[in-house]
Structure 1
Amino acid sequence: MTTDPRAGLLLVMQHADSAFPSGGFAFSQGLEASSLLADRFGGFEFEPYVRTQLIHRWTCADRVALVRSHRMKGDLARIMELDAEVEASTAIDVLRHGSRRNGMAFLTAHRRLGCAPADDYAKLVRAGQASGHLCVVQGLVWHDLGVGEDAAVAISGYQCVASLATAAVRLGLLGALEAQAAIARLHPLVATLSATPIEDDEPLAAFIPLAEIAVLMPDASGQRLFSS
């Protein structure tokens, strides 16, 4: 942990960077499936899709789990209970398994960088005692590294938008500059949602039915770039 604000800013930048090998940027959260099935859902537009994900999933589910985990300050027993809550509340198996894969990738990266809580929790996941959902392990690890709650939420919100923008570029839905312009337009929404208070026992809630239906439906091409 550092008290130097410049060092703290650099730490946040490092962990928000898509180059950090955490696995989160390989997951499209249903964007690919939704875009492939656009004709069945009345067309596909990137920014409205991301706004829906932010408002109806990230702010009330992923962000809540992240903050609650961060506030548990490394208490693995309580974090395991929260992890089980995330597991139970994620109904779609494709999204559930994707969150687990990304969580394990995140733990593995930090374990190799010498983060003891990441190593301890990865052992619990491998032993089948914990699921290792991404939002939960982010709270655990970022607290240990000295990333404050507000900064952790900002990283998570930025990554939610940026990962979807990256997926959209890879799928040919947006150009690189269009994606950056969209990210900038979405910053105020992320900031507003990030400021919504969270209770220590806040329940998890997400409602993105069209994206979840799209993930479950086979697409015409039979081939996808993303697992979700």
Structure 2
Amino acid sequence: MAEIAALLAALQHGDSQFPSGGFAFSWGLEGLLADRLVARRDLAGFIEGQFRHRWSSFDRVVIAHAHDLAGDLDGLVALDDLTDAATPAAAAREGSRRAGNALLGVHARLGTAGAQALRAKVQADQAHGHVPVVQGMVLAGVGLARDQALAVAAHAMATAFCTAAIRLGLASHLDAQRAIGQLRPLIAELAARPLPALDQIHAFTPAAEIAMMRHAGQDLRLFSN
């Protein structure tokens, strides 16, 4: 019974229809498409690069620690500060804050444990509300174990990229499902790796970050980054 309840919670919070606000962000994909640096055949490779060189070594670690810190507001704020300091690209930093705050606002309204307290810190300019911090905390708050929370967060990231690609005309719905299916074994393997220490978090996705920086100067924009 408990396993089924956890599975249902994971399905609910990993569903692309969950109002997380993530639909507003392409995380550099729109800019790369505008500069003709990605094509339909590149979608799975692009997502794989984001998982290998950012999610696995940065977001995953923060999500796991935020999950462990659920209920420790001061610890979450300190982790949020570290996440902010370790995200040097302003466009990526702002995107993470905006996406995290959108997700946090939904969970505060849903009454998820801890969400309102962290949101109050953000509203008082005492926290940033970065998305991996919020993900870890709220997924713990809805009763998911850490490995379940990592799986939901990974799935949400993959579907966010695929949804952006569909809206940009870069992929069909079938292309997106192929990409997710193709990447599932890799994502599962990355999610199961031993966690590095917090002081070892790192990311290296320069093409996407540069695309986000250039995005602000584009005349026509569908996404916020």
**TM-score of the aligned structures, taking structure 1 as reference length:** 0.92
Superposition deviation, residue 224 in structure 1? 1.3
| Aligned-partner residue type, residue 17 of structure 2 | A
* Post-superposition CA distance 1:188-226 (Å, at most 9, x none): 110011111114545321000111112222589621111
Q: Whole-Å Cα distance in 1 between the matches of residues 215 and 32 of structure 2?
A: 11
Aligned twin of 1:181: 178
Matched, 1:86 2:90: no
TM alignment of 1:1-228, pairs within 5 A: 4-39=2-37, 45-199=42-196, 201=198, 203-217=200-214, 222-228=219-225
| SS of residue in 2 equivalent to 1:217 | helix
CA–CA separation in structure 2 for the residues paired with 1:5 and 1:43: 38
Aligned-partner residue type, residue 84 of structure 1: D
When structure 1 is superposed on structure 2, of 210-219 and 6-15 the one drifting more is 210-219
* Structure 1: unaligned runs, 5 residues or longer: none
The 2-side partners of 1:215 and 1:33 are apart by: 6
Kept in 1, the 8 Å contact 2:81–2:128? The answer is: yes
Provide the alpha-carbon RMSD of the alignment. 2.0
- Does structure 1 conserve the Cα–Cα contact (< 8 Å) formed by 2:61 and 2:198? no
Q: Secondary structure at the match of 1:45?
A: helix
Q: Secondary structure at the match of 1:206?
A: coil
* CA deviation after TM superposition for structure 1 residue 37, in Å: 1.0
**Is the Cα–Cα contact under 8 Å of residues 69 and 82 in structure 1 kept in the other structure?**
yes
Opposite residue 10 of structure 2, the aligned amino acid is: V
Whole-angstrom CA distance in 2 between matches of 1:64 and 1:174: 30
Number of equivalences? 225
**Cα distance, 1:202–1:169 mapped onto 2, change above 3 Å:** same
Amino acid at match of 1:102: A
Q: Give the superposition deviation at 1:76.
A: 0.8
Residues 70 and 149 in structure 1, CA contact (< 8 A), matched pair in contact too:
yes
Q: How far does residue 25 in structure 1 lie from its aligned partner after superposition?
A: 3.0
Moved more, 120-129 or 199-208: 199-208
In structure 2, relative to structure 1, the CA distance for the partners of 1:44 and 1:86 (3 Å cut) is farther
Looking at structure 2, the residues matched to 220 and 110 of structure 1 have their Cα atoms a distance apart, in angstroms, of 33
Q: Matched residue of 1:184: which SS?
A: helix
Question: Per-residue deviation at 1:47?
Answer: 1.3
Note the alpha carbon deviations across 1:160-209, whole angstroms, 9 max, x for none. 11110000000001111111111111111100111111145453210001
CA contact (8 A) 1:33 1:219 kept: no
